[in-house]
Amino acid sequence: MALNFTGDEGPDFQPLYAQVKGLILQRIIDGDWKPDEVLPSEFKLADQFGVSQGTVRKALNDLAAENVVIRRQGKGTLVAANNPLRELFHFIHMTDREGALQLPTSSEVLSCERRRASDDDLGRLKLRRGADVIRIERIRTLGEKTAITETIVLPARLFPGLEAGGGANVPHALYQHYQDAYAIAIHRVEEALRAVTAGPRDAELLGLTPGQPLLEIDRVAISLDGKPVEWRITRCDTQDTRYVSSLV
């Protein structure tokens, strides 16, 4: 066991429960336990790691607070999966005027191709110069209306073959696809918002007149191991919708 017990505390000392948490997280990242699978019980993990059940419990509760696992009494501790429900709770922020969550209902891929990463791509996705990316353009509907244009940039190395067929393989629910087809779990997203004016292309795609205001959402999606794996720019008509953000 590689755990630090009291006595050999180095400069990067971590409490036992944090070490246990890290080990469990690593095994989830490695795919030892896959999404929707049940982890061993607290007592079994405690035996494996040579710590008390209470210490494992704290580690698991921390991971649950970070939405890495889901704990259910009587059932066990599951690895969180990027299913539509999770997406709704964690990654959807658009609502209608009354505040009810609006999940995009469909999408149409306009283009999908592999190309050399631009400087912006390199910066956002922390790639090395010369890396390739897959770039997808699509439009999405919110409610009844085509209200969203999206440009999605992915490291080509992580998503081999995704660009095949010009986007014929690209489903609507991308995060679920990343998980199921590439074993990449989106853990959290960082978003930066601004107001922009619709250019001629946006206006045409969304049926607006150029110059109308759009909400631009610049989102980087971060995987379980903390690396940026998707950069997405969403432009959204907010005449009938809102972006909600409830913060403490």
Chain contacts with its own copies (rule: CB under 8 A): 65-67, 90-91, 93, 95, 99, 187-197, 211-216, 218, 236, 238, 241-248
Binding DNA (rule: CB under 7 A), the pick from 24, 25, 33, 77 is: 77
State in angstroms the smallest separation of the CB of 68 from DNA: 14
**Which one of DNA, its own copies, none is in contact with 55 (Cβ closer than 5 to 8 A by kind)?**
DNA
State in angstroms the smallest separation of the CB of 85 from DNA: 16
**Which one of its own copies, DNA, none is in contact with 177 (Cβ closer than 5 to 8 A by kind)?**
none
The DSSP letter of residue 99 is: S
Please list, in sequence order, all residues whose beta carbon lies within 8 angstroms of the beta carbon of residue 236, skipping any fewer than 6 positions away: 94, 142, 147, 148, 214, 215, 216, 217, 243
Q: Is 52 in the site for DNA (CB under 7 A)?
A: yes
Decide if 176 contacts 183 (C-beta within 8 A): no
Q: What is the DSSP string of 43-75?
A: HHHHHHHTS-HHHHHHHHHHHHHTTSEEEETTT
How many residues of this chain interact with DNA, rule: CB under 7 A?
27
Cα(205)–Cα(112) distance, integer angstroms: 17
Based on CB atoms, which residue is closest to its own copies, 2 or 73?
Answer: 73
Q: Is 72 in the site for DNA (CB under 7 A)?
A: yes
Decide if 224 contacts 204 (C-beta within 8 A): no
State in angstroms the smallest separation of the CB of 35 from its own copies: 16
AA letter at 144: E
Q: Is 22 in the site for DNA (CB under 7 A)?
A: no
Based on CB atoms, which residue is closest to DNA, 68 or 215?
Answer: 68
**Which one of DNA, its own copies, none is in contact with 175 (Cβ closer than 5 to 8 A by kind)?**
none
Binding DNA (rule: CB under 7 A), the pick from 48, 61, 151, 238 is: 61
Binding DNA (rule: CB under 7 A), the pick from 34, 36, 53, 200 is: 53
The DSSP letter of residue 7 is: T
159: tokens are 């998503």
Q: Is 26 in the site for DNA (CB under 7 A)?
A: no
Cα(181)–Cα(199) distance, integer angstroms: 35
Q: Is 75 in the site for DNA (CB under 7 A)?
A: yes
Closest of 232, 237, 233, 192 to residue 210, by C-alpha: 237
Which one of the spans 65-73, 85-93, 146-154, 156-164 is the region binding DNA (CB under 7 A)? 65-73
53: tokens are 């059940």
Q: Is 138 left (phi over 0), alpha (psi -120 to 50) or beta?
A: beta
**Site of tokens 């690593």:** 26
The residue ranges that bind DNA (CB under 7 A) are 6, 9, 15-18, 39-44, 51-55, 57-58, 61, 71-77
